Structure formats: structure tokens, C-alpha cells
């Protein structure tokens, strides 16, 4: 869990004072060194480290410690300015700018998020944006103004120099100080790491010597592989140490006219700017690689040390990653021995073929495997019961890239279910060996016996679930304290008598499966399993199913609903309008002379034309209940619930004009541009059954009348019908 300021226990005042003194000392040393460097280089600060040290100290402590830390840091900053020759007023004002920068950055970061785990990429990005943005800008603006008033320094020059130095210090050193904790330093000098530390140090120093102790070749790029090697080998602390050593050597070499940066002949100012850019790139590279490696190591440890069988396979059903439990069950001594192997290397060809077929169906979306139980012999020939769940893995684009599986050994669970009627001595023996929680309940609802696993599954009421306790009363207490919401005492008594299975959702998002088996004596046995991981897998699969349903009802080219969605929606709306006696209208639209457009401009242009037409029609149908669908080819249908033909005609005319306004050129049309023809039809239910086919037929008839009338027109079916009747009467 990410540590926050509110979760840290308050430290004794002596510890707080010691931390403040240490912080003040570090701020003084870094500020003094940077000021001296500034004067040596004509007041061009390469990097300002004091604020970075101060910000890291503040962010690592709760807000209650901030005033003391800030006070000591401010005084140390003033002292550094005084020691280097500044007047008191100047020292006070310039130190105030630095303190403002630290306070603003700390308040923004802690105000935007409560997390304090700076090894998470999102939090590190937030810190970088705030540090390089409002915090440094505000400090630089105030500092440049003070320098302008006191010394007449050009504001732009003062602002750019102040901002570059402060932003670079915050962005480079602060992340390093936040990432490298005391535990990382202990790990770095652990006996198990000594050989690796020595080798990395030799490689790093050799590389840096080759880069910076010569002035003939621009080998600056060689520093980055050295940083990456140090990060991969030594983690967060190694990255911080390597970056600081490299930056220090680079600065020394540059000031002594050595190294790749010293090859620049445009003056010290540009060399310092180049050094700033190099230090920033170096730090960001180290932080990024260290952060990613930290997440990888955490996930790898979680996978490798899980007591269940965890494994990941590629699209060919070959093992990509497994934990030690899988390897040992298969007869191997290490998980790496399974990489690249498949089930054909672990079991019989017949069983391996069945498993591969099952996994290929899962990755194809044709099958879901959750809680599958089967009996299998392990490498030693022992028959064991296993419960398996498998899920397809997808990347950010939704493409399937592999499969993940979790298998639990439920042999003890199966054995328990078959031996509940045996003696109490045997039950107690099994209770101590099983992984699930188990409790035996008497006929009147009292707990006769239970194991420790059963109590631990209930974080609030577990202390009361002991032999002799009345179970319905405990359930009522659990519900009252918010531990569980979906049980009540009456329901518990029914479940104890009749048996069955229930899912329990706890307050901390844990899912428990409670299975009740009645006994001949009138009591029962409860078996409680933590199925949180499997439940989440199930919910993920349901979400995936919903996404597939949405994709099945969408036209891939235009993004509109497809014919399938149209038919389902029309049937639904006609049934609803039949009950409410309200009209429903359908507009059938056809892009005029679209075949000629495709023949002249080509199919890619035709597809682009259809997409623009679809977007315009979608924008024109503004009501939430209106549905624009691609009927097929260049035909588009618009469903208008609770709309009569006159209203639909008005909308169809607006849509026709909207397509004309697109002004898509069309040499194959006598209009010179792309146009549409539309047919409008409506049904008003009068108690008799009206059908989707009838509404389609009317709209199609009106559409063909519009095309026969010269295209780029809207015709209503009622208008068409009256015209047809009129012509028939005139003919007679």
C-alpha cells in the first residue's frame, strides 16, 4: 500500500529535531556549493540542489513536520548566502524565493494526490510536471524581479538562469532522493551484492574515464548504457548513485575544459546549458528505468512466491513465466526450466493436446475456464485434485497476446468433503492441514468447532467466531459493523438447515464462497474459501463479453450501429409504441450515384466519403433516443421513436441539406457534389399489429420515389401514397 502522510506514526520530537538539523546542514552545503559554482561561472548556475534536498525532505515527512523542516532549511539558505558574501536583505529575499518554490511544489503534489509511493510512474510524472512548471516558474519570476530591483539584472536573463537551475535540480535530484530509501542503501551494501557492486563500479568508472578524461572524441552517449547497466544491476540505489557520480564527474570535467562537453567552443555559458541538458536526460533515464524495474521486480516476486500455481503462456501455449510451485509440481527444481516448454513436455500427449485445444479456444474467445476441477497425477505419480481458472491476456489495443492461468491444489478440500461424516478426531486433523476455513455448526446454530483459517477470513467478526458462539448473532454483529451486507440472521438459519452455497462480499472487497452441507444429526459443516481472485477474473470476463456485444452491433467502417442493431431496435420501439399508441418513424437514406463515385475516385475515397456522411447524419440526429445505423452499402437508416411522418420529414430535409453543406466533390453526379435521397415512413399503432417489415417497405418505397424524382430529395410515404391514389383516380 502506498504510504501517505496521514498513515505515518508521529515521531518523537528529538527525531524531528535531528531530521531538521540534518536537512538544514544538507541545504547549507548544497546551497553554498552551488553559489560558489555560480560565481565561478559568471553567475550561470549549472544546477540548484538546495531546493531539491529541501523538497525531498518535506515530501518524506508528514505535514505536521513541515514547519520545522522549512524553518531550518530557510535559515540554512540564508546562512549560505551570507557566508558567500551577500548582504542580509539580499540573503533573506533570495532564500524566500527558494522556500516559496519548495512550499508550492509540496502543496501541489500532496494536494493533487494522497499517495507517497514515488516509485509509481504516475506520481513521479506528477512531481516532474509540478516541479518544472508552476513551482519553478513562480520562484524564477520572483527571484528575477528581486535581482532586477537590487542589481538591475535583465529580467529575461535572470529568469531563464534561475528557472533552468531550479527546475533541473528539482527534476533530477529530488526523484533520486525520494526513490532511494534507507532499505535500498542497506541492500546496496549487503554481502550478497558486494561482487555485483564492485563489477558495476569498475564498469561505471571505466566508462566515465573513457568519456570525460579525454578531449578528442564526443563519447557522451556512452554514459547512458553505463547508467542503465547500474540500474539493472543495483536497482533504485544504484541508479541514484550512478547518476550523481556521472553528473559530478561531468561537471568537474567541463569546468576543467575536458570531456565531450568541453569540446564546445562557444563559451562556458553554452557548455553549462549543455551540461544541464545532459544531467536532466541522465536523471530521467535512470528514474524511468529504475521505476519500471521496481514494478517488474514487485510483480515478479508476487508471481514467483505465490503458493498457488501461477503461469503465463504465449499464443502457442508455451510457458513464458511460471512460479516455483508450478515447476516443483512438474518435477523441476526451478521455474526457469519451464520457459519455452509446453504441456507436451509435462504430461501425456493425449492430455497435452486437450489442454492446448482448450487454451486455444480461450484465446480465441470461444471458451471460458473458471473453477474447473479435475484429478491429475503429479510428477511423483500421486493423484491430486486441482481447481483451475484461465483467462486470455490482451494488450492496450485489445489484441490477445497470451494466456494466464491459476491452479489451486484442492485435494485436501475434496478429501474433507468426502469425510465430513467421520470421527471428530479426523476432522480436527484435516482442519489443521487445509487451506480453506471450516466450521462445524450444531442444529441450533452454535459453533461446535472451527479452524484458524475460518476466523482469519472475517477481519472484523473473526475474533467472535469461536466454539460456543451463536452464529446468527455473530452474523448480525458483522452486518451492524459493516463487515458484510448480504446476510441476515434469519437467512443464515435457513441456510444451516437446508444447505447450499452463498457468495459473501466483505467491506474490503474480498469475496468468500460459503458452502453448507447439512449433517444427519441436524447440524451442518461450513467450508469458506477466499475466491477474490477468481471473482475478479469472472468480472473481467463479463466486462469483456459486454465489450464484444458492443462490437458485434457496430459497423466497422462508419462507427454507426449496424443492421443487427437496427432490426433489434425497430422491433423494440414498435412494441413500445404499440403499447403507448405513439408513432415511430424511419428514414431510409441512400447516397446518390455512389457506385459512380467509387468507380471514379476509388474505394478508399468511397469509404472516406461514407464516414463523413455518417458523421454528418449522426450529428444531425440530436435526440438521445434517435438511432443512426448503416443499413448496408451506401444505405443508412435513422430510427425516430415518438415521431410522426411530418416531424421525420423535417429532420430528413435537414439531414439532406447537411450533406450538401459538406460539399464533397462528385463528378459522376449532375449535382457536382455528393447528395442523398431520403424516404420517410411512419407507423401509428391503432391496436392492430404493425411490423418491422411494413415500416421498412414504406420507407423504401418513399426512398425510391425520391430517387425517381431526380435524387437529392426527401419523399414521405404518406405523400407518395396520396399521389399514387390521385394518379389512379385521374386514370379512371
Q: Angle, to 10 degrees, between the axis of helix 223-255 and the axis of helix 268-304?
A: 150
**Interatomic CA distance for residues 504 and 507, integer angstroms:** 10
Tell me which residue of 324, 291, 313, 249 sits closest to 123, measured CA to CA: 291
358 is catalytic: no
DSSP state, 132? I
CA dihedral 430, 434, 436, 441 (to 10 degrees): 10
Cell of 60: 518524506
Which entry of 359, 573, 634, 645 is annotated as an active-site residue? 634
Tell me which residue of 421, 523, 526, 510 sits closest to 465, measured CA to CA: 526
Tell me which residue of 545, 539, 542, 512 sits closest to 527, measured CA to CA: 512
> Three-state DSSP class for 310?
strand
**Interatomic CA distance for residues 441 and 287, integer angstroms:** 56
> Three-state DSSP class for 505?
strand
Cell of 675: 447528395
**Interatomic CA distance for residues 250 and 221, integer angstroms:** 12
Cell of 398: 485489445
> Three-state DSSP class for 377?
strand
Q: Is 49 exposed, middle or buried (0-12, 13-18, 19+ CB in 10 A)?
A: buried
**Interatomic CA distance for residues 516 and 498, integer angstroms:** 8
**Interatomic CA distance for residues 388 and 407, integer angstroms:** 4
Number of CB atoms found within 10 A of residue 672's CB: 11
Tell me which residue of 345, 362, 719, 370 sits closest to 533, measured CA to CA: 370
Q: CA 719 → CA 148, 678, 680, 710, distances in Å?
A: 81, 13, 9, 17
Rounded to 5°, angle at Cα 514 from 509 and 516: 170
Q: CA 609 → CA 414, 506, 561, 666, 677, distances in Å?
A: 63, 54, 17, 10, 15
Q: Which residues are catalytic?
A: 634
Amino acid at each position: 500500500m502506498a504510504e501517505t502522510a496521514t498513515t505515518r506514526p508521529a515521531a518523537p520530537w528529538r527525531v524531528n529535531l535531528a531530521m531538521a538539523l540534518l536537512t538544514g546542514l544538507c541545504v547549507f552545503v548544497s546551497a553554498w556549493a552551488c553559489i560558489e559554482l555560480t560565481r565561478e561561472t559568471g553567475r550561470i548556475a549549472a544546477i540548484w540542489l538546495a531546493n531539491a534536498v529541501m523538497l525531498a525532505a518535506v515530501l518524506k515527512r508528514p505535514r505536521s513536520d513541515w514547519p520545522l523542516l522549512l524553518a531550518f532549511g530557510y535559515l540554512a539558505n540564508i546562512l549560505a548566502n551570507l557566508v558567500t558574501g551577500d548582504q542580509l536583505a539580499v540573503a533573506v529575499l533570495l532564500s524566500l524565493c527558494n522556500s516559496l518554490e519548495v512550499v508550492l511544489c509540496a502543496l501541489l503534489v500532496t494536494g493533487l494526490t494522497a499517495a507517497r509511493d514515488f516509485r509509481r510512474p504516475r506520481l513521479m510524472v506528477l512531481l516532474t510536471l509540478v516541479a518544472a512548471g508552476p513551482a519553478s516558474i513562480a520562484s524564477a519570476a520572483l527571484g528575477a524581479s528581486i535581482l532586477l530591483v537590487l542589481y538591475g539584472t535583465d529580467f529575461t536573463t535572470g529568469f531563464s538562469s534561475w528557472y533552468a537551475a531550479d527546475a533541473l535540480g528539482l527534476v533530477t535530484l529530488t526523484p533520486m532522493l525520494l526513490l532511494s530509501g534507507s532499505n535500498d542503501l542497506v541492500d546496496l551494501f549487503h554481502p550478497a551484492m558486494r561482487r555485483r557492486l564492485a563489477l558495476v563500479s569498475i564498469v561505471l568508472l571505466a566508462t566515465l574515464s573513457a568519456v570525460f578524461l579525454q578531449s578528442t572524441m564526443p563519447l557522451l552517449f556512452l554514459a547512458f548504457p553505463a547508467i542503465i547497466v547500474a540500474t539493472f544491476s543495483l536497482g533504485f540505489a544504484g541508479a541514484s548513485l550512478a547518476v550523481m557520480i556521472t553528473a559530478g564527474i561531468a561537471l568537474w570535467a567541463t569546468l576543467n575544459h575536458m570531456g565531450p562537453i568541453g569540446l564546445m567552443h562557444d563559451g562556458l555559458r553554452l557548455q553549462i546549458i549543455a551540461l544541464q541538458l545532459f544531467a536532466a536526460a541522465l536523471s530521467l533515464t535512470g528514474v524511468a528505468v529504475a521505476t519500471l524495474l521496481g514494478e517488474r521486480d514487485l510483480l515478479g516476486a508476487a508471481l514467483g512466491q505465490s503458493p498457488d500455481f501461477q503461469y503465463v503462456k504465449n499464443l502457442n501455449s508455451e510457458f513464458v513465466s511460471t512460479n516455483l510451485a508450478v515447476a516443483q509440481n512438474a518435477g523441476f527444481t526451478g521455474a526457469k526450466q519451464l520457459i519455452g516448454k509446453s504441456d507436451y513436455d509435462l504430461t501425456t500427449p493425449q492430455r497435452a493436446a486437450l489442454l492446448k485445444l482448450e487454451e486455444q479456444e480461450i484465446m480465441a474467445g470461444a471458451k471460458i475456464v473458471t473453477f474447473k476441477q479435475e484429478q491429475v497425477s503429479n510428477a511423483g505419480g500421486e493423484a491430486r485434485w486441482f481447481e483451475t481458472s484461465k483467462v486470455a491476456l490482451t494488450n492496450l489495443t485489445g489484441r490477445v497476446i497470451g494466456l494466464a492461468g491459476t491452479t489451486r491444489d484442492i485435494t485436501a478440500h475434496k478429501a474433507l468433503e468426502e469425510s465430513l461424516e467421520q470421527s471428530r478426531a479426523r476432522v480436527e486433523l484435516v482442519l489443521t492441514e487445509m487451506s480453506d476455513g471450516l466450521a462445524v455448526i450444531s442444529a441450533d446454530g452454535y459453533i461446535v468447532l472451527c479452524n484458524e483459517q475460518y476466523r482469519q477470513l472475517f477481519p472484523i467478526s473473526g475474533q467472535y467466531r469461536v466454539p460456543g458462539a451463536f452464529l446468527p448473532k455473530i452474523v448480525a454483529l458483522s452486518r451492524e459493523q459493516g463487515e458484510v451486507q448480504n446476510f441476515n440472521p434469519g437467512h443464515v438459519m435457513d441456510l444451516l438447515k437446508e444447505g447450499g452455497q452463498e457468495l459473501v462480499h466483505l467491506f474490503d472487497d474480498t469475496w468468500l464462497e460459503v458452502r453448507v452441507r447439512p449433517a444427519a444429526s441436524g447440524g451442518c459443516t461450513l467450508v469458506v474459501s477466499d475466491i477474490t481472485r477468481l471473482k475478479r477474473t469472472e468480472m473481467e470476463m463479463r466486462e469483456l463479453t459486454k465489450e464484444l456485444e458492443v462490437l458485434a452491433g457496430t459497423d466497422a467502417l462508419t462507427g454507426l450501429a449496424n443492421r443487427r442493431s437496427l432490426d433489434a431496435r425497430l422491433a423494440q420501439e414498435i412494441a413500445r409504441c404499440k403499447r403507448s399508441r405513439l408513432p415511430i418513424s424511419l428514414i431510409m437514406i441512400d447516397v446518390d450515384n455512389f457506385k459512380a463515385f467509387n468507380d471514379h475516385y476509388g474505394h478508399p475515397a468511397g469509404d472516406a466519403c461514407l464516414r463523413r456522411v455518417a458523421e454528418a447524419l449522426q450529428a444531425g440526429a440530436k435526440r438521445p433516443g434517435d438511432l443512426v445505423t448503416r443499413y448496408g452499402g451506401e444505405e443508412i437508416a435513422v430510427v425516430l421513436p415518438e415521431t410522426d411522418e411530418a416531424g421525420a420529414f423535417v429532420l430528413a430535409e435537414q439531414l439532406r441539406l447537411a450533406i450538401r453543406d459538406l460539399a464533397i466533390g462528385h463528378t459522376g453526379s449532375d449535382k457536382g457534389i455528393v447528395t442523398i435521397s431520403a424516404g420517410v415512413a411512419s407507423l401509428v399503432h391503432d391496436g392492430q399489429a404493425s411490423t418491422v417489415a411494413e415500416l421498412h417497405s414504406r420507407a423504401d418505397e418513399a426512398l425510391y420515389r425520391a430517387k425517381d424524382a431526380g435524387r437529392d430529395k426527401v419523399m414521405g410515404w404518406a405523400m407518395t401514397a396520396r399521389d399514387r391514389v390521385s394518379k389512379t383516380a385521374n386514370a379512371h
